[in-house]
Amino acid sequence: MKRLSARLYRLSARIYLSFFRLDEMKSLFLRKAFRQGYNIEVGEYSYGCFDRDRFTPNMTIGRYCSFSRSCRRVNANHMLNFLSLHPYFYNTKFGVVAQEQVERFHCQIGDDVWVGHNVVILPTVTSIGRGAVLAAGAIVTKNVPSYSIVAGVPAKVISKRFSDAIIEKIEASRWWELSSEALKNVADENWDWIRSPETLPEGSLADYQKGNVQS
């Protein structure tokens, strides 16, 4: 029964994406379908990741993430030491082997991560930190620290987006927990905070929404 339910959610997700792709940033139905059908948890406002052909099960994706339409994540490798590299020899769904023969990994992607075109995230990656940038064409083989920019083959950290002091302010702001409506209020009243994060006030922007932070 559970397996049938998962299949129905997968079918529903494919049908939904065929007609309502523009709504993927906010769709609660689509998030439930991917959670129940593929064990892929997607945070609110994230987009570009609702594609089972490019994103494998066992993923948790934060809020406000941006994925290009050509990036992908792989959750297992072919078995190099087996007689054959063919999936018949490790994947149970083909009916040749009775037990799964590969280890499939979970990947945790933080909030506000940007993944560029043709990026490939390999199974050895289990964590991508908040605010990280994966540059176009990167082959990511290792975990990515928060607020770092990685590029190349294999991908390496080429710089940090901000100084430690600014990162501390951004982390304290916890802006990613706000709704898009709340962020509009911040943008309307304090655009400098968005354009120049070093001008952020001390503390949480959620508190600012309640009038408790001194600007």
Instruction: Give pLDDT tens digits for 101-131.
Output: 778 889 999 999 999 999 999 999 999 999 9
Rounded distance between C-alpha atoms, residue 80 and residue 38, angstroms: 26
Structure tokens at 61: 């994706």
Tell me if 58 sits within 8 A of 105, measured CB to CB: yes
Confidence of residue 213 (pLDDT cuts 50, 70, 90): very low
Tell me: pLDDT of 76 over 90.
Answer: no
Q: Any residues with CB less than 8 A from the CB of 165 and at least 6 apart, and which?
A: 198
Tell me if 27 sits within 8 A of 44, measured CB to CB: no
Sheet of 66-67, strands arranged across: 66-67, 114-115, 133-134, 148-151, 156-160
Tell me: pLDDT of 11 over 70.
Answer: no
Q: Across-strand partners of 149?
A: 133, 159
Confidence of residue 156 (pLDDT cuts 50, 70, 90): very high
Give the per-residue pLDDT at 211.
46
More confident: 165 or 5: 165
Q: What is the DSSP string of 109-141?
A: E-TT-EE-TT-EE-TT--EE-TT-EE-TT-EE-
| Percentage with pLDDT > 90 across the chain | 54
Provide mean pLDDT across the span 34-59: 92
Residues carrying an active site annotation: 78
Residue type, 21: R
More confident: 17 or 87: 87
Q: Which of 32-41, 45-54, 76-85, 163-172 has the lowest mean pLDDT?
A: 76-85
Domain architecture of the chain: domains with CATH? 2-161 (2.160.10.10), 165-209 (no CATH)
Residue type, 210: K
Residue type, 57: P
Give the per-residue pLDDT at 73.
95
pTM score = 0.83
Dihedral sign from CA coordinates of 68, 74, 80, 84: negative
Q: In 5-77, at which residue ranges do the beta strands (DSSP E only) sit? A: 40-42, 59-61, 66-67, 72-73
**What is the chain's mean pLDDT, rounded?**
87
Give the per-residue pLDDT at 215.
45
